[in-house]
Amino acid sequence: MNTTLIIFGATGDLAGRFLLPALAELAAVDALPQGFSLVASGTRDMSEDDFRDHAEGKLNEHGADSPESARRWILDRTQYRPADVTDTADMAELLAETGRGQDAPVTVYLALPTGLMPDALRALAAADLPSGSRIAMEKPFGEDLSGANELDDLLGELFGDEAAAIVFNVDHALGMAPVQAMLALRFANPLPEAVWNSEHIEEFRVLWDEAIALEGRARFYDSTGALKDVLQNHLMQVLTMSAMERPEGIESGWPSAAELRARKAELLSAVRPLSAADVPTSTRRARYTAGTLADEPEAAGKTVPDYIEEDGVDGNRDTETFAEVVLHIDSPRWAGTRFRLRTAKALAHTRKGIEILFRPVGAAQQGARLWIGLDGPFDVELALNSSSSRDRLTPMSLIGEQPRPEFSPYGHVLKSALEGESDLAAGPEESQLAWQILTPVLEAWEAGSAPMEDYPAGSPGPESEPPTGAQP
């Protein structure tokens, strides 16, 4: 395990809300080496004490579940260095100041906007990272299909055949415990695998509904939108882990990262392309108007204005806060099943999970539903043929022993990055395929072929009927 972690973008929302609390969580269970050091870097010219005060505030706000001693352990091992991550000289100087020597490998976490990634990678490569170093990039991989292709070419140019072992496009959805357990749920138990196909499943839903609004991320979000921010990466990764064919190595515990990437790419390659004519019947987009958010943590019943009136939002952009896409997978297992992917902000409830609608059996008017929650503790519920009949299933009854310790998603991501494990990263081919699938949607939305609906903040969403998708 590398002992030095460098976070670029350390003063940003991602680092304060997720990365620092995840480090405290790992420290609390002695999952970090005793020689661990955190080098935090950003463009803000602030002293080390000022950054530690900033980090302490974020840890107290977002990492209060970890003991105070663990939070202090991280703060005591934290340095701050202002630097321009796109400047080779700054990168070389920062690496020299880590105090680990020329030969000590480091793990670099790029918590940066997508547009900065190419120049940051060029600067790091030119700065001559020590052997054994790794670079973790936040999603998405590129800003569109063309950008993803160019980024893949750049990685090959900079790092050659070693690119896959050095640069990880991490996705914290892959670190969610239920996603980690998905392969065990499907393949270690005969019952789920027997019904995990189109003969029994009518619709497979991957949902990422959030009660919060922008939470200070307007500049990033308004240039990205719901589809690029969540659906193109997180939901596509959950889809592949949920619907892929059996990977080799699952019988002995956990498949290799290369095998997982191959099975995920195979699944995405089988997604039926959407035509421009399909988009109006297979997608839906909307954005929130003024309203009161749900009385949930973080959303906290706040009153928010129309999205286009939020601070930092450019009202001339056609940015969606609600995106829904219906896909079909042309494979023997899944021909005839609808796959509905949906993400939104400022909805009535936070609800992240997989909902499986089974086909009716016999005289039943509707089929059973299986819900697998993704965010937080295991949440598994089976609803039988009527809404009044529910069987609560414990996680162990479905998945057996969990394949990993119970860390938060970003805890898994950081531990894997420090250890050099890439199974929580999306390979370039997966990202390119995901962009390829969704490019017709982005182009049709830009052309105005699907209306921009609206919904009041704190409501269930737009009132129009959900898309049905193209014919199976």
pLDDT digits (tens, 9 = 90+) for 176-217: 988 888 888 888 777 888 999 999 999 999 999 999 999 888
pLDDT tens sequence across 222-246: 999 999 999 999 999 999 999 999 9
Out of 82-91, 250-259, 440-449, least confident range: 250-259
Out of 300-309, 350-359, 368-377, 391-400, least confident range: 391-400
Within-domain flag for 83: yes
Same domain, 221 and 145: no
Give the rounded percent of residues in the chain with a pLDDT score beyond 90.
Answer: 74
Give Cα separations from 74 to 28, 56, 213, 250 (angstroms): 10, 9, 30, 36
Within-domain flag for 358: yes
Range of the domain at 140: 4-170
Residue after which a domain boundary falls, among 137, 153, 170: 170
Residue after which a domain boundary falls, among 104, 138, 170: 170
Q: How far apart are CA 38 and CA 71, in angstroms?
A: 13
Is the dihedral angle over the CA atoms 102, 104, 105, 110 positive or is it negative?
Answer: negative
Same domain, 257 and 132: no
Average pLDDT, integer, range 30-36:
94
Within-domain flag for 313: yes
Average pLDDT, integer, range 51-55:
97
pLDDT at 219 over 90: no
Token readout for 55 is 């980090």
The number of helices, as runs of H, and strands, as runs of E, in the chain is: 19, 17
Residue after which a domain boundary falls, among 153, 170, 187: 170
3-state secondary structure at position 452:
strand
What is the structure's pLDDT at 395?
Answer: 46
What region, left, alpha or beta, does residue 248 occupy, with left being phi > 0 and alpha being psi -120 to 50 degrees?
A: beta
CATH of the domain at 322: 3.30.360.10
Out of 26-35, 84-93, 362-371, least confident range: 362-371
DSSP string, 169-214: EE-GGGGSHHHHTHHHHHHSSHHHHHH-STTTEEEEEEEEE-S---
CATH of the domain at 120: 3.40.50.720
- Cβ atoms of 11 and 44 within 8 Å: the answer is yes
Binned at pLDDT 50, 70 and 90, residue 396 comes out as very low
Within-domain flag for 411: no
Same domain, 152 and 112: yes
What is the structure's pLDDT at 340?
Answer: 98
- Cβ atoms of 108 and 72 within 8 Å: the answer is no
Out of 70-79, 376-385, 389-398, least confident range: 389-398
- Cβ atoms of 51 and 78 within 8 Å: the answer is yes
The secondary element (H helix, E strand) that includes residue 283 is strand 283-289
Is 182 or 24 the better-scoring residue by pLDDT? 24
Same domain, 129 and 208: no
What is the structure's pLDDT at 386?
Answer: 47
Average pLDDT, integer, range 31-55:
95
What is the structure's pLDDT at 277?
Answer: 93
Same domain, 165 and 205: no
Strands, E assignment, 44-184: 78-82, 107-110, 134-138, 167-170
Token readout for 6 is 């460098």
Same domain, 266 and 328: yes
Same domain, 307 and 369: yes
Residues contacting 70, CB < 8 A, separation 6+: 24, 25, 27, 28
- Cβ atoms of 51 and 45 within 8 Å: the answer is no
DSSP string, 218-260: HHHHHTTHHIIIIIIIIIHHHHHHHHPPPPTTGGGS---HHHH
Residues marked active site are found at 234
**Would you call the peptide bond into 190 cis, given omega within 30 degrees of 0 as the criterion?**
no
Within-domain flag for 414: no
**Single-letter amino acid code for the residue at 406:** E
- The domain total for the chain is 2
Token readout for 138 is 């936040």
What is the structure's pLDDT at 177?
Answer: 85
The secondary element (H helix, E strand) that includes residue 381 is strand 380-383
- Cβ atoms of 205 and 342 within 8 Å: the answer is yes
- Cβ atoms of 115 and 143 within 8 Å: the answer is yes
Average pLDDT, integer, range 87-94:
93
- 251 φ, ψ to 5°? -65, -30
Same domain, 350 and 232: yes
Average pLDDT, integer, range 443-461:
96
Same domain, 152 and 180: no
Same domain, 131 and 212: no
Within-domain flag for 299: yes
- 43 φ, ψ to 5°? -85, -15
Average pLDDT, integer, range 449-464:
96
- Cβ atoms of 164 and 430 within 8 Å: the answer is no
Within-domain flag for 470: no
Q: How far apart are CA 441 and CA 437, in angstroms?
A: 8
Is the dihedral angle over the CA atoms 228, 233, 238, 244 positive or is it negative?
Answer: positive
Same domain, 165 and 182: no
Mean pLDDT over all residues of the chain? 90
pLDDT at 380 over 60: yes
3-state secondary structure at position 296:
coil
Same domain, 107 and 180: no
**Virtual torsion, Cα 93, 125, 12, 165, nearest 10 deg:** -130
Within-domain flag for 271: yes
3-state secondary structure at position 168:
strand
